[in-house]
Amino acid sequence: MRITLSSVLVDDQQKALDFYTGQLGFEKKQDIPMGEFRWLSVTAAGEADGPELLLEPNQFPPAKTYQAALYEAGIPATSLASSDVRADYERLSGLGVSFKSEPFDAGGTTLAIFDDTCGNLIQIHQA
């Protein structure tokens, strides 16, 4: 088995797409109308066949509660790999991304946490 799709709850799919592509540098993979919402996913730039991150609407009330509880507790909704967390921190900060922490060492792994503007804290990590 392998991971090909994971999701993150978002409060606004278009805002999420704009952030994940415009600021984080991901590329749109799928954009399929599904009634009021969309099957909307992104992949890492240059990795069209790589794992997809689904930007999933949080319209189900328990999903909103779960998302808000994670955020309020300071728990990232997911973690993204980085080859250089400190360089990504500087680059993304320069693009206006709001970090909740500067890069820090967590026992051999460098981490930083930012707000995705869509209701989530996202961690970037470098082993």
Fold of 5-126: 2,3-Dihydroxybiphenyl 1,2-Dioxygenase; domain 1 (3.10.180)
User: What's the CA dihedral at 105, 114, 50, 18 to 10 degrees?
Assistant: -160
Q: What pTM does this model have?
A: 0.94
The pLDDT of residue 16: 98
Q: Count Cβ atoms within 10 A of the Cβ of residue 35 and give its class: 0-12 exposed, 13-18 middle, 19 or more buried.
A: exposed
Domain coordinates of the chain in residue numbers? 5-126
> Can you give the pLDDT at residue 62?
96
Instruction: Name the residue with tokens 């026992």.
Output: 107
pLDDT at residue 109, as a whole number: 96
Supply the pLDDT for residue 34: 95
Per-residue tens of pLDDT for the chain, all 127 residues: 999 999 999 999 999 999 999 999 999 999 999 999 999 999 999 999 999 999 999 999 999 999 999 999 999 999 999 999 999 999 999 999 999 989 999 999 999 999 999 999 999 999 9
